[in-house]
Chain A
């Protein structure tokens, strides 16, 4: 299996050269970072070129790196999981929009039609815009929702809550009355924690 992954990462380097970052193999998976400028062209070639033949886009989603321990670089990334049925291999492509205030990427809907909903979802949850998308509406959140809930600065409990108001006889939005409660804090331990010594 690993020889095959080596072959894929070598092919990537040969075909794309400087247009992509260094392919990495971790946990038996190949991943590659692509700058926003060459994103669409690289994706199109990955789909069309029989040497790669990534016929299926299994998943496309976003990630917000703003709170990642020790991370430097663009805040958002759109992550695609590609699958080739003929070669039976997978590839993860990470594209980093350059502007953190207004992240924009080109849409891959023309290459894989399935990207339509994935990109809508990524736009909805992370606020990454996809240029050339035919119908970039929100997908999962409520009609008229404000904000992008999966960004790290968006609280888990949100900003508004909904209730039925018997006086106005309709559903109204109001500021949330609950506060996020953290029972177990988030901890990153030093290396070899709990491995030496006793206990």
Chain B
């Protein structure tokens, strides 16, 4: 009989199922994975080092580029860190707006995750459905700050501006006739909040659609049940957070346990898995979307009733309004100083953590009193999750490696920083 030896397979860095540039060196025994060694750093941009050479405000847009599928929560962690160091209060309306956009990001992130995860495993249709809803949410973000993806909308002290009063509308062209345009614009006749409310009313029905497609799907279950099982004890040892930790049956959510902003005023539940496998984590994410939808509804109701400022009026931190800046010397100086020299953050260090859609995202900011950070450490949830691939893949088939990569909700921008 011929000699049978283990062989090594190079997975990625350019592989559609690698969710970016992940190089996975797999040692295989036949078709069974014996060892998985992820090589990361192909997307390393040195964000933390760059931050040391930029002012506190200039660093903010880099945070969008970390996890490029849910941008605003990353900014949120950074803003919280700077605000805590400065001791600045965010106006309550600003806090509600932040929470609302965080939850929009959560839905957006999970939609992408579930869509592409299903795509990796072979269910092509799912991604078409989820991207349809993501597009609506991208429209919301675009209406808010003009950019679909890298918003730079949260600023230390609040959010850059208030919600817009109208949604952009479709226009007639040679591909869309008057009738189509009218139908498409039906939800867009009111303000942004009206559009979003319409979305939250539609979304539970859409979520049911996804459940019909996947939850009881025999093939989906065959590919996910019992794959990548992580026991609660191992989940702690492996430093999991977010949906990965909850999928293993540990009830832990920073929004509930260490509430920031206005999460303590909102009503929502934390879904928890039982078996700690890929399927449970999928169910947790599905339920999280339903809960996020609930939170968004509550935020909309509050925001409709309570107008007010959205950013701090401390002009050493947040810029004055443009009309005021044009008319008053004092405000002009503030504006100029803020955007040239930047704000000075008092010496100290702070570890600000939030519940990012992927898990705990934290910014450890160290200041020595200068206008630039002395050190910024970005803790992203992707690192411990990816580090656990080895353990989760062992003993599974090669094809299950993609299922594991899908379930850890991998985004390489987030891992490599």
Contact (Cβ within 8 A) B333 A199 = yes
| Contact flags A115-133 to B (C-beta < 8 A → 1, else 0) | 0111001000000000000
* Contact A59 B41, beta carbon cutoff 8 Å: no
Q: Mark B100-121, 1 if CB is under 8 A from A, else 0.
A: 0000000000000000000000
Encode contact with A along B369-383: 1 for CB under 8 Å, 0 otherwise: 111101101010001
Cβ contact within 8 Å between A55 and B341: no
Which residues of A have CB within 8 Å of B416? 140
B49 close to A149 (CB less than 8 A): yes
With A59-B377, A92-B351, A139-B41 in contact, is A69–B341 under 8 Å at CB? Answer: no
B327 within 8 A of A: no
A81 interface neighbour in B53, B237, B341, B362, Cβ under 8 Å = B362
Selected from A57, A61, A114, the residue in CB contact (under 8 A) with B364 is A61
Q: Closest CB-CB distance, B58 to chain A, in whole Å?
A: 8
Which residues of A sit under 8 angstroms from B368, Cβ to Cβ?
Answer: 68-71, 188
Q: Is the CB of B50 within 8 A of A140?
A: no
Asked if A27 and B85 sit within 8 Å, CB to CB, the answer is yes
Instruction: Choose among A56, A63, A92, A141 the residue that contacts B375 (Cβ–Cβ < 8 A).
Output: A63
A88 within 8 A of B: yes
Partner of A68, one of B40, B342, B374: B374
The total of interchain contacts (Cβ-Cβ below 8 angstroms) comes to 122
- Give chain B's interface secondary structure class: mixed
The reply to whether B50 and A114 form a contact with Cβ atoms under 8 Å apart is no
Q: Which of A114, A142, A156, A188 contacts B41 (CB 8 A)?
A: A142
> Which one of A70, A90, A140, A156 lies within 8 Å of B351 (CB-CB)?
A90
Does A42 sit at the interface, judged by CB under 8 A? no
Whole-angstrom distance between the alpha carbons of A86 and B341 in the complex? 44
From known contacts A59-B379, A61-B377, A182-B53, infer whether A69 and B44 are also in contact, taking CB-CB under 8 Å. Answer: no
What interface size band does chain A fall in? Answer: 35 or more
Q: Assess whether B351 is in contact with A81, with CB atoms less than 8 Å apart.
A: yes
User: B58 — nearest CB in chain A belongs to which residue?
Assistant: A184
Task: Say yes or no: B340 contacts A140, CB within 8 Å.
Answer: no
| Closest CB in chain B relative to A162 CB, distance in Å | 13
B340 in contact with A184 (CB, 8 Å)? yes
A55 near B44 with CB under 8 A, answer: no
Nearest CB in chain B: distance from A166 CB, A = 22
CB distance from B45 to the nearest CB of A (A): 10
Q: Which of B55, B330, B344, B387 contacts A114 (CB 8 A)?
A: B387
20 contacts between A and B (CB under 8 A): A56-B236, A59-B362, A68-B368, A69-B368, A69-B370, A79-B364, A88-B258, A113-B237, A140-B41, A140-B44, A140-B416, A150-B49, A156-B50, A156-B53, A180-B53, A184-B340, A186-B372, A187-B370, A188-B368, A198-B330
Given contacts A81-B364, A92-B351, A188-B344, 8 further A-B contacts (CB under 8 A): A58-B362, A69-B368, A69-B370, A79-B364, A184-B342, A186-B371, A188-B368, A199-B330
